[in-house]
Amino acid sequence: MYGSGEFNIDAGRDHRTGVPEVVIAEGKTDEQLRDISLEFIERTGKVIISRLKGDRKDVLITALSERFPDLRIQYEALPGFLSAKRRDCPERRNGGRVAIITAGTSDIPAAMEAELISRESGCETLSFHDVGVAGLHRLFGPLKKIREWGADVLIVAAGREGALPTLVSGLVNIPVIGLPVSTGYGLHGKGEAALFAMLQSCSPIAVVNIDAGFVAGAVASRMASRCSGSRE
């Protein structure tokens, strides 16, 4: 563990658990985020940050690049996901395969967070979007491709009534993780109805919290990495 009086980074989490520590930008000052990120890069060669939006991203990238000019920086605006790695930091591969589908386009930010953390944990990913139950015919082509690809785990992101994970679980023979998303409005909107529906699923699925893309991706990558051994 390393850090200052305000933070203690867990530099060994990636090696210990198979999932790297991700710094959530929400709730931190720009100075705290900068110092934590610099400490991570110094100790591990990389930093991964979630929910980093707006001008904060530009301020942080400038500070990191000034200290470490050799950084490879990637940023995905929809989930606010930033990865900064030194040139000599190796890419991780564990052989796992994680597929991700979304019910609607509005579910993509949470699903993308799950996909990106799956990749950072060493998995290959395959994703399809906007194949929800309102147009069920759109689902069958992606499911066929997911089966042919040999996915180990399938993350299904859905808001509103949250029916898609239950439906998908009844059509595939791999573990399904339901990711409820805060799309929707009115009574029990903002993901609550989706979460309740997934918890009551009549087809077996695992469920994470609302908008918990990181958790879905972390759990999926752990499962997939264990499954990958059967292909070797």
Residue pLDDT tens, the chain, 232 long: 445 577 888 888 888 988 889 999 999 999 999 999 999 999 999 999 999 998 999 999 999 999 999 999 999 999 999 999 999 888 888 889 999 999 999 999 999 999 999 999 999 999 999 999 999 999 999 999 999 999 999 999 999 999 999 999 999 999 999 999 999 888 888 999 999 999 999 999 999 999 999 999 999 999 999 887 666 5
Q: Are 69 and 26 in contact (CB under 8 A)?
A: no
What angle, rounded to 10 degrees, do the helices at 213-227 and 108-120 form?
A: 40
Domain count within the chain: 2
User: What does the pLDDT read at residue 228?
Assistant: 72
Does the residue 210 lie in any domain?
A: yes
Residues 6+ apart with CB under 8 A from 229: 95
Residue range(s) defining the domain that contains residue 63: 2-85
User: Does residue 140 share a domain with residue 72?
Assistant: no
Final residue in a domain of this structure, among 26, 54, 85:
85
Q: Is residue 199 in some structural domain?
A: yes
Q: Report d(CA 59, CA 28) in Å as an integer.
A: 14
Q: For strands 81-85 and 46-50, give the pairing.
A: antiparallel
Same domain, yes or no: 101 and 216: yes
Q: What CATH number is associated with residue 38? A: 3.30.1370
Do 80 and 104 lie in a common domain? no
Alpha-carbon dihedral 220, 222, 226, 228, rounded to 10 degrees: 60
Phi, psi at residue 98, to the nearest 5°? -115, 125
What is the structure's pLDDT at 148?
96
- pLDDT above 90 covers what percent of the chain? 80
* Strand, helix or coil for residue 76: strand
pLDDT at 141: 97
Per-residue pLDDT, 232: 58
Dist. CA 232–CA 230, nearest whole Å: 6
Burial of 84 per CB tally in 10 Å (0-12, 13-18, 19+): buried
Statement: the pTM of the whole predicted model exceeds 0.85: yes
Name which of 109, 116, 125 is nearest 83 in CA terms.
116
Distance in angstroms between the alpha carbons of the first and the last residue of the chain: 35
Whether residue 102 is contained in a domain is answered as: yes
**Residue listed under structure tokens 């689902």:** 139
Is 130 a domain residue?
Answer: yes
- Is 216 part of a structural domain of the chain? yes
Produce one character per residue of 16-46: b if its CB has 16 or more CB atoms within 10 Å, e if not.
Answer: eebbbbbbebeebeeeebbbbbbbbbebbbb
CATH of residue 141's domain is 3.40.50.1970
Q: Of the candidates 85, 106, 122, which is a domain's last residue?
A: 85
What pLDDT is attached to residue 1? Answer: 44
What pLDDT, in 10s, does the model give residues 121-179?
A: 999 999 999 999 999 999 999 999 999 999 999 999 999 999 999 999 999 999 999 99
